[in-house]
């Protein structure tokens, strides 16, 4: 997910987030998640300045509401960012990248995830560093003054004055960066940073010529750092760069017509997609990893090794040409000719810990096999059930359980941690034996939340990696609870499968989904229950150890048999008793008031070839939780490369390519060029597809922007993939995905935008093809303004389009003018329909507004509201509740108008003043606010049943009713809490 979008929402005009990466801020033993965004500001005179914005966040940043500015570090002349490796730390292919950020007054250390995105981030930071042209003035960063909370004087302080007393600005973001050195200081040589594995990009040991060759990351091009000798000209740098390129043996080749295809890699199906060469092996460099030195392995692991300093320039990045691309494609297709299968032992474990800290040794679970596993995959669910973990993604229990696992791994081997990923309470750990670390590559981790409104109390995390030549994906999921929510669990599974996407090492390649792996291991609390049997019958069958009889009533078994979920997966025989639900600290079944029926909630499944399950069991000895941990041990056949056969295959490919001619102009045929999307609805995906068939010339394609447009298509449209590479006589299917959400619905409702677009498909060295997209959008109450809906006495789909247009464009503050439309409703009828339904059916519903609904039911609710057929409304309480939240989120002007936002924050905690602010709202908005508060207070009267409290409702509705003005800086967490406090006081006081 591109989290720069969330940061962009927090920025002011003229500020642009180039790229963002999520990492861990390391301070002593503390690890805190931070979102790092590189922000560019264009100056009036045409130059530009950059700063690193650091944000705290409560989850995967989807919108600006999910992030809070922590501090800003200007990318000044004394700014450095370099990779470091602590002494004694094992170099692990695919492990996190540790970088240190230094300025004159600030030093921070971060762990960034290994992968292509981190490499791109570090590369962009390198480009952003100021140069050393003495004519270029020092950056002043006057644009950052808006983030200071103190009143600006009429004359801004000078840059030197700004930083003479650095520190945290009261109540606002801290500015890092520090002093701006004098001219003499600028040109002095910086002493190289020492430390094992440190790769200094610029600013290191510099010879008398003033130029230094930095370490070259595997597959990357020559990287140059520049020293402080004044007067060195660009021509000298370029000449040195040419010499270095020659020495490096550049293999970039031009095809006929002085064109070449760079940065490409096959995907194994005839398609090659545009990519960067960073971190990629060239064919002649594809050597056995075990023969590489420690420093070479470092380069392989840290292919993102860039240390940004004020003395660093990137002058040339070596790329792959067409020949290298085709060699890689042929190697993929001939893989079976030079690989063999070797078995490795995998331990896979899952444990729902019910929010508990580790209280007992985990050895009975993690060490039960005699032979030490080669790989450990360990998953947890419900790591932390606190509200802080739920809303702010912060928990100390991550470190507690990580240490508990690390201390109890098999004593017969030494293990290296490859990756840890956590989403609220779902955590996955990956370890391998140290001797296998050099064969682990392409490590990526992702998460998908399936909880209501993206709050992610349920969902999944996954780690994918390549072990030798086999791609493996490990998924840990926690699906929806309760016996009756089987369909919701199925939807959670499908959401995880469709939304879990991994960036590839090559940035141009399309993301990998779970299914695109040789081996898939799926573990977790899947929450499927035993149905059709009462509790006592279930317990009796367990006592008789009639597990196969009981298994016939298992929901997962029936859903897999119906091909509703886990199609193609295998699960071992269940020879152990159900793992849920026990009284904590015992082996007794649940004796609480709810008396849950026992169930096999905790499961492990697999998919792929050459997989043998050796054991599948639960571990009754552990009693910390109301679940029992489950483990499975596998022998998995991994493709290992035979180096002699590999070299022979490579030589044959190179010889055959010597005869290849590629001077012709590429051409393709398209199966379809006109696409019509009929009756497009709000938040209902429509997909049209077409096929590109390539001729006899390798061909790179890409959808390109039309003149004066910022994107190749409108915001509601997406092409997947949007670019790629085709081998001769190969095909690819392109999907055009149309999806209308809160960002695009209002203009479609008002007819300011239409389902019309032209896509330009461009062939490199070839011609352009034009694709026509058309269709019609069905207006919806979702995305319509409050006052517009109040004037619509008829359902929106029963009104003429011109009437919908006029009402949607009607200015907010002229709403009381009844000259044209008389007797409007006090609140939107659609809002009343949803609240009335919930009032009649759901005031005692447990987990209301916290448990997600079903997508199909949301679509049904939307259609009922838009057609006025409320009598046909039949949906779960959770689906209607989620529809209400989505309705409030889609309002183009929130219930509390943008203009009143800051007044609400100022009077937060003063109920009298807060009521006064609400009284100034436009009539319809004021009515809606009071109506919602009255409804929420009714819910609180039933808190003993629905388990809601003022804090939960304030946190959920605070960000929906009270939103920051568009384009304004998002506030700090303390001020977000003020917004929640504003709503909280209305929930606690009678009208």
Over residues 236-247, the pLDDT tens digits come to 333 333 333 333
If asked whether residues 449 and 513 sit together in one domain, one would say: yes
Strand duo 768-777 + 674-680: pairing: parallel
Same domain, yes or no: 212 and 147: no
Domain boundary among 248, 266, 296: 296
Residue 747 has pLDDT above 60, yes or no: yes
Domain span at residue 727?
668-777
Mark whether 351 and 499 lie in a shared domain. Answer: yes
Last residue of a domain, one of 162, 196, 214: 162
For residue 486, is it within any domain?
yes
- Give the pLDDT confidence of 452-507 residue by residue, as tens digits: 655 556 899 999 999 999 999 999 999 999 898 899 999 999 999 999 999 887 66
Q: Would you state the pLDDT for residue 14?
A: 86
pLDDT in tens, 166-180: 333 333 333 333 322
Alpha carbon distance 329, 674 (integer Å): 32
Distance CA 827, CA 104 (A): 57
Give the pLDDT mean for 712-729. 92
Longest dimension (CA), the chain: 88
| Residue 754 · residue 772 · CB < 8 Å | no
Percentage with pLDDT > 90 across the chain: 52
Give domain status of residue 319, yes or no.
no
The pLDDT of residue 213: 25
Whether 846 and 911 map to the same domain: the answer is: yes
CA atoms in the 13 A half-sphere facing the CB of 436: 27
Residues 418 and 517 in one domain: yes
Query: Residue 831's domain is classified under what CATH number?
Result: 1.10.555.10
Which of 562, 569, 590 minimizes the C-alpha distance to 578?
Answer: 590
CATH code, domain with 450: 3.60.10.10
597, HSE (Cβ side, Cα atoms, 13 Å):
22
Long-range (24+ apart) CB contacts under 8 A made by 38-43 are: 38/75, 38/121, 38/124, 38/125, 38/128, 39/7, 39/11, 39/15, 40/15, 40/16, 40/128, 41/14, 41/15, 41/16, 41/143, 42/14, 42/16
Q: How far apart are CA 496 and CA 220, in angstroms?
A: 34
476 class by beta-carbon count within 10 Å (0-12 exposed, 13-18 middle, 19+ buried): buried
**For the domain that residue 708 is a member of, what is the CATH number?**
2.60.40.10
Q: Transcribe 226-248 into DSSP letters.
A: E-S-TT--HHHHHHHHHHHHHHH
Q: 104: pLDDT confidence band, cut at 50, 70 and 90?
A: confident
Q: What is the per-residue pLDDT for 131?
A: 64
How many domains does the chain contain in total?
5
Q: Say if CB 542 and CB 578 are below 8 A apart.
A: yes
The more confident residue out of 964 and 381 is 381
pLDDT band at 931 (very low <50, low <70, confident <90, very high): very high
Mean pLDDT, the chain, whole residue set: 79
**Residues 625, 704: one domain?**
no
Q: Which helix (H) or strand (E) holds 299?
A: helix 294-301
**The pair of three-digit structure tokens given for residue 543, joined into one six-digit string:** 């006592």
CATH number at residue 119: 2.30.29.110
Euclidean distance between CA atoms 772 and 959, whole angstroms: 39
907: phi then psi, degrees, rounded to nearest 5 = -100, 10
Of 834, 815, 832, the closest CA to residue 824 belongs to 815
Q: Which residues of 828-841 are buried (b: 16+ CB within 10 A; e: fewer)?
A: bbbbbbbbebbeee
Could you tell me what percent of the chain has a pLDDT over 70?
75
DSSP, res 375: E
Question: What is the pLDDT, as a whole number, of residue 365?
Answer: 97
Residue 815, pLDDT > 80, answer: no
pLDDT of 321 higher than 60: no
Tell me if 802 is assigned to some domain: no
Instruction: Compute how many other C-beta atoms are within 10 angstroms of the C-beta atom of residue 168.
Output: 10
In terms of domains, do 254 and 351 share one? no
Give the tens place of pLDDT for each residue, 543-580: 999 999 999 999 999 999 999 999 999 999 999 999 99
Q: Has residue 786 been placed in a domain?
A: no
Residue 163: band (very low, low, confident or very high) from pLDDT cuts 50, 70, 90: very low
Q: Does 188 map to a domain?
A: yes
User: Which pLDDT tens digit goes with each residue over 347-397?
Assistant: 999 999 999 999 999 999 999 888 999 999 999 999 988 766 665 566 788
Say which residues have a Cβ less than 8 Å from residue 713's Cβ, sequence separation at least 6: 703, 719, 757, 759, 773
Check residues 793 and 781 and name the one with the higher pLDDT: 781
DSSP assignment of 775-838: EEE---STT--HHHHHH--S-GGGS-HHHHHHHHTS-GGGTT-TTSS-S--SS-HHHHHHHHHH
Q: Are residues 674 and 701 in the same domain?
A: yes
Flag whether pLDDT at 679 surpasses 90. yes
- Clarify whether residues 852 and 969 are in a common domain: yes
Give the model's confidence band at 739: pLDDT under 50 very low, under 70 low, under 90 confident, else very high. Answer: very high
Are 344 and 382 contained in the same domain? yes
141 and 207 in a single domain? The answer is no
Q: Are 443 and 115 in contact (CB under 8 A)?
A: yes
pLDDT value, residue 218: 28
Quickly list DSSP for 725-741.
EE-TT-EEEEEEEE-B-
166 in Cβ contact with 157 (< 8 Å): no
Tell me, yes or no, whether 149 and 232 share the same domain.
no
Q: How far apart are CA 40 and CA 468, in angstroms?
A: 40
Instruction: Name 628's Cβ contacts closer than 8 Å, sequence gap at least 6.
Output: 579, 580, 582, 602, 618, 619, 620, 622
Indicate whether 656 belongs to any domain.
Answer: no
pLDDT tens digit sequence for 187-196 = 222 222 233 3
- Reply yes or no on whether the pLDDT at 677 is more than 70: yes
Place of tokens 């040419």: 242
- Determine, yes or no, domain membership for 875: yes
| Domain membership flag for residue 446 | yes
pTM of the model: 0.62
pLDDT on residue 966? 63
Last residue of a domain, one of 777, 799, 815: 777
Q: Indicate if the alpha-carbon torsion angle 621, 368, 464, 119 is positive or negative.
A: positive
């Amino acid at each position: 997910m591109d989290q720069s979008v969330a940061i962009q929402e927090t920025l002011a005009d003229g500020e642009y987030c180039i790229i963002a990466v999520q990492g861990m801020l390391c301070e002593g033993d503390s690890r805190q998640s931070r979102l790092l965004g590189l922000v560019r500001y264009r100056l009036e005179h045409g130059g530009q300045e950059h700063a690193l914005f650091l944000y705290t966040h409560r989850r995967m940043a989807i919108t600006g509401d999910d992030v809070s500015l922590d501090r800003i570090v200007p990318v000044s002349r004394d700014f450095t960012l370099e990779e470091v490796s602590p002494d004694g730390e094992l170099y692990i292919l695919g492990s996190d990248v540790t970088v240190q950020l230094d300025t004159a007054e600030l030093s921070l250390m971060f762990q960034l995830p290994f992968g292509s995105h981190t490499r791109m981030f570090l590369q962009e930071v390198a480009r952003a560093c100021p140069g050393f042209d003495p004519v270029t003035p020092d950056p002043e960063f006057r644009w950052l003054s808006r983030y200071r909370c103190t009143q600006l004087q009429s004359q801004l302080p000078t840059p030197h004055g700004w930083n003479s007393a650095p520190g945290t600005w009261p109540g606002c973001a801290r500015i890092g960066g520090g002093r701006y050195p004098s001219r003499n200081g600028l040109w002095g040589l910086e002493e190289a940073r020492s430390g094992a594995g440190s790769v200094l990009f610029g600013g290191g040991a510099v010879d008398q010529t003033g130029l230094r060759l930095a370490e070259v990351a595997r597959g990357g091009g020559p990287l140059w750092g520049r020293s402080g000798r004044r007067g060195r000209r660009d021509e000298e740098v370029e000449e040195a760069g040419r010499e270095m390129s020659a020495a490096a043996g550049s293999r970039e080749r031009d095809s006929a017509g002085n064109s070449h295809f760079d940065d490409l890699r096959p995907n194994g199906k005839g398609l090659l997609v545009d990519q960067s060469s960073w971190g990629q092996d060239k064919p002649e460099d594809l050597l056995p990893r075990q023969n590489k030195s420690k420093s070479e392995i470092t380069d392989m692991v840290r292919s993102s090794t860039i240390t940004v300093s004020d003395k660093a320039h990137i002058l040339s990045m070596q790329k792959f040409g067409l020949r290298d691309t085709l060699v890689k494609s042929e190697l993929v297709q001939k893989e079976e000719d030079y690989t063999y299968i070797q078995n490795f032992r995998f331990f896979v474990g899952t444990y729902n810990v019910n929010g508990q800290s580790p209280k007992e040794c985990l050895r009975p679970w993690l060490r039960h096999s005699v032979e030490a596993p080669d790989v450990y995959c360990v998953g947890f669910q419900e790591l932390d059930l606190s509200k802080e973990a739920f809303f702010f993604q912060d928990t100390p229990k991550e470190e507690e359980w990580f240490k508990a696992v690390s201390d109890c791994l098999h004593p017969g081997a030494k293990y290296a941690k490859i990756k840890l990923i956590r989403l609220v309470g779902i955590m996955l750990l990956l370890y391998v034996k140290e001797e296998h670390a050099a064969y682990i590559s392409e490590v990526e981790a992702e998460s998908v939340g399936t909880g209501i409104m993206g709050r992610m109390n349920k969902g999944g995390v996954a780690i994918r990696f390549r072990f030798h030549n086999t791609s493996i994906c490990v998924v840990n999921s926690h699906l929806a609870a309760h016996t009756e929510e089987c369909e919701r669990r199925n939807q959670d599974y499908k959401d995880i499968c469709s939304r879990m996407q991994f960036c590839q090492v090559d940035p141009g390649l399309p993301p990998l989904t779970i299914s695109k792996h040789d081996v898939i291991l799926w573990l977790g609390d899947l929450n499927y229950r035993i149905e059709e049997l009462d509790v006592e019958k279930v317990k009796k069958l367990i006592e008789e150890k009639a597990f196969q009889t009981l298994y016939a009533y298992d929901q997962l078994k029936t859903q897999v048999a119906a091909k509703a979920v886990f199609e193609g997966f295998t699960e071992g025989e269940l020879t152990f008793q159900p793992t849920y639900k026990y009284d904590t600290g015992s082996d007794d079944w649940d004796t609480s008031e709810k008396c849950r029926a026992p169930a096999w909630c905790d499961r492990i499944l697999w998919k792929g070839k050459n997989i043998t399950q050796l054991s599948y069991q639960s571990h009754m000895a552990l009693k910390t939780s109301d679940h029992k941990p489950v483990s499975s041990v596998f022998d998995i056949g991994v493709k290992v490369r035979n180096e002699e056969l590999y070299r022979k295959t490579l030589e044959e490919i190179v010889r055959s390519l010597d005869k290849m001619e590629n001077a012709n102009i590429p051409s393709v045929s398209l199966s379809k060029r006109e696409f019509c999307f009929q009756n497009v609805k709000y938040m209902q995906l429509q997909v049209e597809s077409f096929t590109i068939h390539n001729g006899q010339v390798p061909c790179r394609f890409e959808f390109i922007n039309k003149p004066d447009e910022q994107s190749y298509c409108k915001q509601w449209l997406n092409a997947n993939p949007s670019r790629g590479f085709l081998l001769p006589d190969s095909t690819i299917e392109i999907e055009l995905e149309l999806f209308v959400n809160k960002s695009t619905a209002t203009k479609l409702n008002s007819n300011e935008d239409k389902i019309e677009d032209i896509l330009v498909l461009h062939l490199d060295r070839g011609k352009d093809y034009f694709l026509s997209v058309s269709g019609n959008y069905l207006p919806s109450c979702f995305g319509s303004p409050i006052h517009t809906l109040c004037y619509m006495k008829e359902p929106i789909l029963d009104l003429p389009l011109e009437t919908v247009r006029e009402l949607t464009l009607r200015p907010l503050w002229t709403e009381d003018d009844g000259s044209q439309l008389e007797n409007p409703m006090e609140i939107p009828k659609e809002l009343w329909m949803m609240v009335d339904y919930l009032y009649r059916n759901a005031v005692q519903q447990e987990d209301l507004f916290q448990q997600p609904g079903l997508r199909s039911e949301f679509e049904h609710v939307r259609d009922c509201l838009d057609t006025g057929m409320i009598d046909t409304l039949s949906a779960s309480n959770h689906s209607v509740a989620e529809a209400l939240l989505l309705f409030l989120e889609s309002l183009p002007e929130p219930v509390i108008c943008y203009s009143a936002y800051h007044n609400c924050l100022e009077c937060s905690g003063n109920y009298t003043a807060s009521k006064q602010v609400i009284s100034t709202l436009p009539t319809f908005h004021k009515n809606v606010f009071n109506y919602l508060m009255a409804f929420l207070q009714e819910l609180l009267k039933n808190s003993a049943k629905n388990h809601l409290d003022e804090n939960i409702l304030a946190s959920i509705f605070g960000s929906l009713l009270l939103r920051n003005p568009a384009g304004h800086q998002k506030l700090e967490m303390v001020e977000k809490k003020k917004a929640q406090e504003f709503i909280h006081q209305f929930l606690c006081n009678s009208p």
